[in-house]
Structure 1
Amino acid sequence: MAATLHFLLILLPCLSLFLAPAFSSGEAEPKVPAVFVFGDSTADVGNNNYMPGNNAKANFPHNGIDFPFSRPTGRFSNGYNGIDFLAMHVGFKRSPPPFLSLNNTSHETIKAKKGINFASGGGGILDSTGDPNSSISMTKQVQNFSTIRSQLMRQLTNQQIDKLFSKSLFLSSSGGNDIFAFFSQNKFSNVTEKKQFISTLTMKYEDHLKKLYDLGGRKFGIVDVPPIGCCPYSRSLNGTGGCLETLNELAREFNRALKIVMNKLSSTLAGMKYSIGSSNAVIMNIVNDPGALGFNETKTACCGSGKFNAESGCTPNATLCPDRRYHVFWDLLHPTHATAKFFGLAVYSGPEPFASPINFKKLVEDGN
């Protein structure tokens, strides 16, 4: 713990600019030609704005209060999310735009935007997770990427397509919603049932990643599941107000299985490289010693209402904390901009346990 805490302490000066992008764009070429993003609300930058359902949206205040021009974009954050910061490190202004916002643009414009974000709040690895009217499953996200690839093939040669995708960064952040769904339906599950669930979940994730590989992806940045038992919503379910360890253990079991799956894929799929960025390790380091890292509130959400501000989401009428910089959690489930910034720095350039077997910097700078 001491070594990892020391690394995070080195990152503290970077948080002084937490209201502004960490990097300027246009000064140098990005380290990859494009970034393609898949996942849930930890990665969504506005796809759900275009969904017919009313659930799992964040395109209203107080969301985005610290985004440029205090604009709610559909990010479940007061500012940027972790995917934005990873994209910044790679050399882009922020995450690429949401897929559903580009449906009426030319495919050449899509290509020029250096990637697309397919992630959807409420979606999951399993097709059974989430409401199809309010979120996009990962199965559908991969299908959407396949559609874009087919459209680009009308304008680019096979060689250009192969080069574009093999050099690009494929980011994926998912699994938490699947675990929440399993827990809500199986509060008293036994060890065998939990193992079966984790096995099913990782097998389905493996299938998604294989499909992305078949479609040209070679560099995969995978974000593991955070300690969801410690988020304000989970604490509100626990009579003691402490972390809900059943959820945390499911997250840890999934993350352990994820490492095995990624190692297997990289050893069997030619040219595949990966890094697992551990949001779990980053957030647990902050929760275990918040004061050392400049935080003073680890339990209560900045925006919400009720117990731990976690009995409802962040809405225009919700309570809003004045000291967002010092809160670990923005709403009942999601981290603040400041926490996301720590995550991006640690995963991009940090040591294990924040990223393994290599960090994202080594992944994107590998020219092979």
Structure 2
Amino acid sequence: MQMADLRFSWLWVALLVVLSGAVLSKGQDEGVVAPEAGGRREMVPAMFIFGDSLIDNGNNNNLASLAKANYYPYGIDFKAGPTGRFSNGYTMVDEIAELLGLPLIPAFSESSGDQMLHGVNYASAAAGILDITGRNFVGRIPFNQQIQNFENTLDQLTNNLGAVDAAQSLARCIYFVGMGSNDYLNNYLMPNYPTRNQYDGQQYADLLIQQYNGQLTKLYNLGARKFVLAGLGLMGCIPSILSQSTAGVCSEEVNKLVLPFNANIKTMINNLSTNLPGSKFVFIDIHNMIQDILSNARLYGFSVVNRGCCGIGRNRGQITCLPFQTPCANRDQYVFWDAFHPTEAVNILMGRKAFNGNQEVVYPINIQQLASL
């Protein structure tokens, strides 16, 4: 099955279903101005999150979008049930938030007032660095719009805290950005997009980083100082791509395609660190993390590495997890939850590696070290 067929099969199924669900909202009346939350020691005042479906926690729920996960069995292992997280449970940023001593960060679409004080999640499934990315799914919130939503949050925080206190607190917060996957999966690799004919792999990576550089600089100008950037993983090994091979093997073409983007991020981080006074950047090497997990799966407790826990077709990746579909029972043994996303077990593992790992997986320092600066 071709990528376009896969996408539109999913879209066709999604049109038949009325999706509904509640978004988790765990903000409390403490945060940007409080040192403790629920007895936890907060390492930073708050965390603000930008990204796509890997870390979306419900911002697409009320959009006219075909990229939604607010239905069972998504959230089957999450206390609040289906919230819009594209996982059976936690996302990577959920684990990082807990390790930082923060409550789970609320979605922008559901946050207001005091709920914002520990941070806000602006991530949106199908979103990309480029505004045009993900249009096949109709509604989504591109990175540029996510930054505008952050500006709206800033206006409210400034009104509540005052300009000086807000600026001082914001400089100590973590800004987690995980963008780029959709710019490949739902743009460059899609036959109805012109980008593949306009750019080779390196040129496209350069285009993305040029945009990304400007977007991160804008966040800096809005007060961000401590950045955590997640790179792209082994996208040629996700069930969606595996399902396009009759042999069910990883696509080396896709894996090689995203390497220039990851290399460009490291270069960009070095340049931004030099050019933006007071800024600190951390790069999470998702590529190395996933490669390690797949290569040493049994050591980590995983027995299934090449198909989704929930999905239909070859490698359970031709059509992604359908409403009320029965997923695999042994979810903790699966690397992939659906056609595109990791299981909670992998998300927690990657969150912990990003928090306190070495330079093989997080560079030049880890999140724990960044938070203590």
Q: Distance in 2 between matches of 1:337 and 1:64?
A: 9
Aligned to 2:227: 220
Shift in Å, 1:148? 1.6
Q: Distance in 1 between matches of 2:247 and 2:212?
A: 34
Aligned to 1:152: 157
Q: Distance in 2 between matches of 1:116 and 1:122?
A: 19
Q: Percent identity?
A: 34
1:56 to 54, 59, 67: 67
Aligned to 1:9: none
Q: Distance in 1 between matches of 2:200 and 2:155?
A: 40
Shift in Å, 1:28? 2.9
Q: Distance in 2 between matches of 1:222 and 1:188?
A: 24
Partner amino acid for 1:342?
A: L
Q: Which runs of 5+ in 1 are unaligned?
A: 1-23
What is the 5 A alignment of 1:274-353? 274-353=281-360
Q: Answer whether contact 1:43 1:83 (CA < 8 A) is retained.
A: yes
Q: Which secondary structure state, in structure 2, belongs to the residue aligned with residue 50 of structure 1?
A: coil
Aligned to 2:370: 363
> What is the number of residues matched between the two proteins?
335
What is the root-mean-square deviation in Å for CA atoms of aligned residues? 2.0
Aligned to 2:132: 128
Q: Answer whether contact 1:305 1:319 (CA < 8 A) is retained.
A: no
Aligned to 1:184: 190
Q: Answer whether contact 1:277 1:360 (CA < 8 A) is retained.
A: no
2:45 to 25, 33, 44: 33
Aligned to 1:66: 77
2:176 to 153, 171, 180: 171
Aligned to 2:24: none
Q: Distance in 1 between matches of 2:107 and 2:200?
A: 36
What is the 5 A alignment of 1:15-30? 26-30=38-42
Q: Distance in 1 between matches of 2:102 and 2:216?
A: 24
Q: Answer whether contact 1:305 1:318 (CA < 8 A) is retained.
A: no
Moved over 3 A (4+): 185-192
Q: Distance in 2 between matches of 1:191 and 1:133?
A: 23
Q: Distance in 2 between matches of 1:111 and 1:329?
A: 31
Shift in Å, 1:179? 1.1
Q: Distance in 1 between matches of 2:217 and 2:176?
A: 14
Partner amino acid for 1:64?
A: G
Q: Distance in 2 between matches of 1:80 and 1:317?
A: 19
CA displacement 1:339-364 (0-9 Å, x = unmatched): 01110111110102210011111011
Partner amino acid for 1:34?
A: A
Shift in Å, 1:192? 6.1
Q: Distance in 2 between matches of 1:116 and 1:274?
A: 19
Distance of aligned partners of 1:97 and 1:334 in 2 relative to their CA distance in 1, 3 Å threshold? same
Q: Distance in 1 between matches of 2:271 and 2:263?
A: 13
Q: Answer whether contact 1:125 1:205 (CA < 8 A) is retained.
A: yes
Q: Answer whether contact 1:304 1:319 (CA < 8 A) is retained.
A: no
Q: Answer whether contact 2:45 2:172 (CA < 8 A) is retained.
A: yes
